[in-house]
Amino acid sequence: MKRLAAALCLSALCLWADGHGPAFGFSTATLGAGDSSAGTAMMWRSGVVMLSPYFSYGITGNVQISISSPFHLNHGEHPVGRFTGLMPGDPEMEVLAAWRFHHSLTGIGTRNESTLYLGTSVSTQLPPRTDGPALRRAPGFYMAAATGHISRRYYVWAGAGYERYASLGVDHPSNSLLGSLVLGWRPAFLNKEDPASDCRFFWETTGEDVAHAWRSAAAPAGAGHHGVPAPLPTANSSGIIVLPNSGGRGVYSGPSLLYTHGNLAFQLGAQIAAWRDPNGIQPAERFRVVAGVSYFFPGRRR
Amino acid sequence: MTRWTRNALRGLMLILLLRGTKPAHAEYMRIHLRVYGLDCGVCARGVSASIGRLAGVEGVKVNLQSGMLDITLARGNRLKLSDLRKRVRENGFRSLEATVTAIGRFSGSGFEVLGSGESYAVGRASQSGASDPVELTFHVR
């Protein structure tokens, strides 16, 4: 039933990103003033299946606001950290503002640009955990920056972001640091004029450093959703229990593809773990996939 | 029909005539505008749609290889070149040189596009010395 709902959402929403960027890493493009795009992406990792509808709107030629609300279709295990540079990895509603503060147009089809992202999020679902009851959520805050070179032939983007959750004396999901390097290429035979279809290939490498999550010692005890008894709580002097089997570091790398036709954009990407160092004992997250579709709405200004 | 009614009708006709008089129009006819930074079809569509919605624009073609916008304008339009440049800027790109075909008058050392308030320095060789409106194609940096 959930998968049917996902398929329906995918076909009904038919919408993602601004049609410019990579699937996992950071990019810099923003929409034109009055332009908007909407879409959805299906994401899979470590048994978690997420659907992430989003909407973006260009306020000026360099300022964009986006709202996304990924939610779990299948909880699976509980990986942490952001799924992509511009999309939360947990079920949250996130408002993200982008400001392209540096914009150097250097030639025909060529530009260098840098963008700053600021976002805030609130939890929309509390996924069950195997090491105890679901973590209650505090608001999250996100800051990221990306810089890149864009041309008709090659793309290079590098970026980093940090997401931090307010503690508020309750449970605390993992803060996370994410970095990415994206190399893109449009083969010469695909370098065609609109309205011909456009196709770009990317190789995306992302690295993440995810801190331990913790729960308040005052949280109700309980078992995880697999029936595994919760470990005996050992609160530290601050009254919190650091979850040993949470967080870690990893580097993921893999190809992605962006295909646009008219106002529609389709995206597909996969990454494999090049290096993983999870804290404690956690399910292996060796592979992650994202598939998205989006629709671009040109502005209606007169 | 009383005198008062006749006068009222005449007044009404005068008002309608005055309202029907067209104000001075800009006479840009065609503009080739080079734009920096356009890398993909989605960018092209955004710029094209944004300019295409300006009153007086009949058509916009984008060539991504040359970065050139080919903008065809309706007769009697009131568009200014600065309006087009503003739209390009609002889409996050930069416009550069343009090749403009317009109707205007030579005034002093410049060529004034009729009704637009925009004038351009053009080469002396292009000036016929006539003060009547002429159609001219010229380059703008």
- Domains of chain A from N-terminus onward: 2-297 (2.40.160.40)
Chain segment A252-302, per-residue pLDDT in tens? 999 999 999 989 999 999 999 999 998 888 877 889 999 999 999 988 766
CA-CA-CA-CA dihedral for B1, B4, B5, B6, to nearest 10: 80
Answer yes or no: do B44 and A20 touch at CB < 8 A.
no
Q: In this complex, which of A30, A110, A300 lies closest to B37 when CB atoms are compared?
A: A110
Rounded Cα gap, residues A223 and A134, in angstroms: 9
Rounded Cα gap, residues A84 and A285, in angstroms: 15
* Secondary structure E strands in A36-83: 36-45, 48-58, 63-68, 71-74
Beta-carbon contacts of residue B67 (< 8 Å; ≥ 6 apart): A108, A109, B34, B35, B36, B38
Comparing C-alpha atoms, which of A249, A230, A234 is closest to residue A134?
A230
Say if residue A49 is exposed, middle or buried (CB neighbours under 10 Å; 0-12, 13-18, 19+): middle
Give this complex's ipTM.
Answer: 0.76
CA distance B57 to chain A (A): 11
Chain A to chain B, count of Cβ pairs less than 8 Å apart? 104
CA distance B26 to chain A (A): 18
User: In this structure, which amino acid lies at residue A227?
Assistant: G
- Residue of A31, A35, A103 to mutate, testing the B interface (most B Cβ within 10 Å of its Cβ): A35
Chain segment A196-246, per-residue pLDDT in tens? 888 999 999 999 999 988 887 765 555 444 445 455 456 777 778 888 888
Cβ contacts of B47 on chain A, cutoff 8 Å:
32
Answer yes or no: do B42 and A260 touch at CB < 8 A.
yes
Q: Which of residues 5-44 of B touch A (CB under 8 A)?
A: 34, 36-44
Rounded Cα gap, residues A49 and B93, in angstroms: 38
In the numeric block, which tokens belong to residue B18?
């005055």
Q: Does A150 touch chain B (CB under 8 A)?
A: yes
- Specify whether the CB–CB gap between A214 and A220 falls below 8 A: no
Rounded Cα gap, residues A116 and A159, in angstroms: 10
Beta-carbon contacts of residue A258 (< 8 Å; ≥ 6 apart): A19, A20, A21, A22, A23, A199, A200, A202, A265, A266, A267
Q: How many CB atoms lie within 10 A of CB A250?
A: 20
Rounded Cα gap, residues B86 and A105, in angstroms: 16
Q: Estimate the crossing angle of helix B41-52 against helix B81-90, to 10 degrees.
A: 140
- The rounded Cα A221 to chain-centroid distance in angstroms is 31
Cβ contacts of B41 on chain A, cutoff 8 Å:
193-196, 198, 260
Rounded Cα gap, residues B127 and B132, in angstroms: 12
The nearest alpha carbon in chain A to B36 belongs to: A108
Polymer length of chain A: 302
Q: In this complex, which of A100, A109, A296 lies closest to B38 when CB atoms are compared?
A: A109
Q: Does A195 touch chain B (CB under 8 A)?
A: yes
- Specify whether the CB–CB gap between B52 and B60 falls below 8 A: yes
Answer yes or no: do B42 and A32 touch at CB < 8 A.
no
Cβ contacts of A151 on chain B, cutoff 8 Å:
39
In the numeric block, which tokens belong to residue B35?
């734009």
Phi, psi of B11 (to 5 degrees): -60, -40
User: In this structure, which amino acid lies at residue B99?
Assistant: T
Cβ contacts of B65 on chain A, cutoff 8 Å:
108-109, 152, 191, 193
Q: For residue A14, what pLDDT band results from cuts at 50, 70 and 90? A: very low
Cβ contacts of A196 on chain B, cutoff 8 Å:
41
To the question of domain B28-140 being in CATH 3.30.70.100, the answer is yes
Q: Does B89 touch chain A (CB under 8 A)?
A: yes
Q: Does A296 touch chain B (CB under 8 A)?
A: yes
Rounded Cα gap, residues A123 and B37, in angstroms: 38
Spans of chain B, pLDDT less than 70: 1, 11-26, 123-131
Rounded Cα gap, residues B99 and B102, in angstroms: 10
Q: For residue A131, what pLDDT band results from cuts at 50, 70 and 90? A: confident
- Specify whether the CB–CB gap between B45 and B69 falls below 8 A: no
Chain segment A104-128, per-residue pLDDT in tens? 988 898 999 999 999 999 988 888 8
